[in-house]
């Protein structure tokens, strides 16, 4: 969700905007402003008015969120030195940290109201908001980023082993503690914790298993502290079905690149497998079920993902500068005696494309054979969908070790070479000892 928030919308003229400045501004917002952003993204979601209803849960009203999102929000007070003390609004507490690059929440390109006059309350969104598929959160969490940031936050709170965080980092860790590792406000639409779901990580693992029928790669390490129930109605066939779907799509990509030879692409099989995945997801999403759980999981993982996407203030404070997210995460993990997933690079590279592919499958467009060529078209040029599908197949193979580019091999029972059984021999006729009726004895008697 936060990834889309800081990224310029394709229908706007802000494509050249500095995304790094957007992320730094995001991390410095007041917790109430971040809460208002979360509520606004839910309010302006693209399928809010779909039928059947996408979700029965209603976000905060615009009358409540607008004062928090606009430039008139006061993050603090200026305390005069004279008596009597009458504090006045101080709107210059946060911007000096970023200088001219600071953006108010309303200026974030993915909020939905880009270009609207901030002095006038907007009547409606400029464009619909969206967030990643739940598979994105599952893949990012497999890097162990959630546990690593939890350990880092714990060290900052209770120990003096790490360097003193900079002012920008202090704002980030404050927001992380309040929104991610703390008790969320019960009035927020994304709050899913309570007395029956006290362990957020266990609840999230249960949601992953519900939707995909799989555990986190490090589930054995966290099972002791975060036990969770595996829903009986989970989609346990998701992974086998998706892998079969991907292999068929890869056959289509290979054949689309060939200019001669046999073409064994089967669009009907691809459509059947896509429809099975579509049915699995829609069965769990009836009446907006699991929507809030997905929304929160994706928002949390995207917030942490942005923190290691570049040499952010938190990365610099921990002396974890590097050229890629997986190296930054590994260096941060080492500061607290932990280790990131050894295949974090493939996981980071897989999360975004996999999310796009799953979202396109859930539109139902590939349930008919006539539309499946969009997934593997190569001539005259590859389509964005086919490039994305190929990226998923490549990175999935690297991340899981399951080769999606070869047809499944089935074991054939070896032929036996045991000798044939010997033919049964008839028992010999009994010899006659009594004289024959003609009075003559048998020869030899």
Which tokens in the block code for residue 35? 């809460």
User: Is the separation of the CB atoms in 185 and 191 below 8 Å?
Assistant: yes
**Same-domain status, 113 and 242:** no
Rounded CA-CA distance 246/392 in Å is: 9
Q: How many C-beta neighbours within 10 Å does residue 168 have?
A: 18
In a domain, 334, yes or no: no
pLDDT tens sequence across 7-53 = 986 655 555 567 999 999 999 898 989 999 999 999 888 876 664 55
In a domain, 367, yes or no: yes
In a domain, 310, yes or no: no
Which tokens in the block code for residue 29? 């917002």
Per the structure, how many domains does the chain have? 2
Angle, nearest 10°, between helix axes 291-307 and 134-141? 50
**Same-domain status, 248 and 395:** yes
| pLDDT at position 222 | 83
| pLDDT at position 124 | 64
* Chosen domain end from 130, 146, 175: 130
Pick out the chain residues at pLDDT < 70.
Answer: 9-17, 48-53, 74-100, 113-126, 408-420, 426-445
| pLDDT at position 135 | 98
In a domain, 79, yes or no: yes
* Chosen domain end from 88, 111, 130: 130
**Same-domain status, 252 and 388:** yes
Residue 254 parent element (H or E)? helix 238-257
pLDDT tens sequence across 291-318 = 999 999 999 999 999 999 999 999 999 9
In a domain, 86, yes or no: yes
| pLDDT at position 200 | 85
| pLDDT at position 302 | 97
**Same-domain status, 246 and 379:** yes
In a domain, 321, yes or no: no
pLDDT tens sequence across 155-166 = 999 977 899 999
User: Is the separation of the CB atoms in 211 and 284 below 8 Å?
Assistant: yes
Cα angle 299, 297, 314 (rounded to 5 degrees) comes to 50
Rounded CA-CA distance 169/312 in Å is: 9
In a domain, 17, yes or no: yes
Of 293, 115, 266, 277, residue with least CA distance to 200: 293
| pLDDT at position 435 | 57
| pLDDT at position 94 | 52
| pLDDT at position 295 | 93
Question: Which residues, 6 or more positions from 63, have their beta carbon under 8 angstroms from its beta carbon?
Answer: 121
Q: How many C-beta neighbours within 10 Å does residue 185 have?
A: 13
In a domain, 83, yes or no: yes
Query: 8 is in which domain, residue-wise?
Result: 1-130
| pLDDT at position 438 | 59
| pLDDT at position 17 | 66
């Amino acid at each position: 969700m936060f990834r889309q928030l800081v990224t310029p919308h394709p229908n706007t003229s802000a494509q050249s905007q500095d995304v790094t400045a957007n992320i730094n501004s995001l991390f410095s917002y007041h917790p109430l402003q971040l809460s208002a952003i979360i509520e606004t993204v839910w309010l302006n979601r693209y399928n809010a008015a779909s039928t059947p209803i996408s979700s029965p849960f209603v976000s905060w009203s615009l009358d409540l969120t607008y004062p928090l999102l606009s430039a008139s929000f006061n993050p603090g007070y200026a305390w005069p030195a004279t008596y009597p003390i009458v504090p006045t609004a101080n709107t210059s507490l946060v911007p000096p940290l970023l200088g001219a690059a600071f953006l108010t929440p309303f200026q974030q390109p993915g909020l939905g109201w880009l270009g609207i006059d901030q002095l006038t309350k907007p009547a409606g969104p400029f464009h619909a908001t969206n967030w990643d598929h739940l598979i994105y959160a599952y893949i990012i969490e497999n890097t162990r980023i959630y546990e690593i940031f939890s350990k880092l936050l714990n060290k900052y709170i209770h120990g003096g082993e790490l360097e003193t965080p900079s002012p920008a980092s202090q704002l980030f860790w404050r927001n992380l503690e309040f929104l991610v590792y703390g008790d969320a406000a019960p009035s927020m639409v994304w709050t899913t914790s309570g007395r029956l779901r006290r362990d957020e990580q266990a609840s999230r693992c249960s949601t992953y298993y519900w939707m995909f029928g799989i555990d986190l790669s490090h589930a054995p390490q966290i099972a002791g502290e975060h036990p969770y129930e595996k829903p009986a109605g989970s989609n346990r066939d998701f992974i086998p079905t998706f892998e079969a779907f991907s292999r068929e799509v890869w056959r289509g990509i290979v054949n689309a690149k060939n200019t001669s030879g046999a073409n064994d692409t089967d669009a009907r099989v691809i459509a059947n497998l896509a429809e099975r995945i579509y049915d699995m997801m829609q069965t769990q999403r009836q009446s907006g079920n699991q929507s809030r759980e997905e929304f929160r999981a994706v928002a949390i993982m995207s917030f942490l993902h942005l923190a290691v996407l570049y040499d952010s203030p938190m990365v610099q404070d921990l002396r974890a500068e590097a050229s890629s997210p997986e190296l930054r995460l590994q260096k941060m993990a080492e500061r607290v005696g932990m280790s990131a997933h050894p295949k974090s690079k493939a996981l980071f590279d897989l999360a975004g494309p996999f999310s796009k592919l799953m979202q396109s499958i859930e539109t139902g467009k590939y349930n008919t054979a006539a539309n499946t060529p969009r997934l593997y078209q190569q001539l005259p040029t590859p389509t964005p969908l086919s490039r994305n599908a190929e990226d998923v197949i490549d990175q999935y193979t690297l991340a899981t070790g399951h080769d999606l580019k070869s047809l499944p091999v089935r074991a054939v029972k070896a032929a036996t070479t045991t000798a044939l059984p010997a033919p049964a021999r008839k028992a010999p006729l009994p010899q006659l000892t009594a004289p024959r009726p003609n009075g003559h004895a048998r020869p030899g008697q």
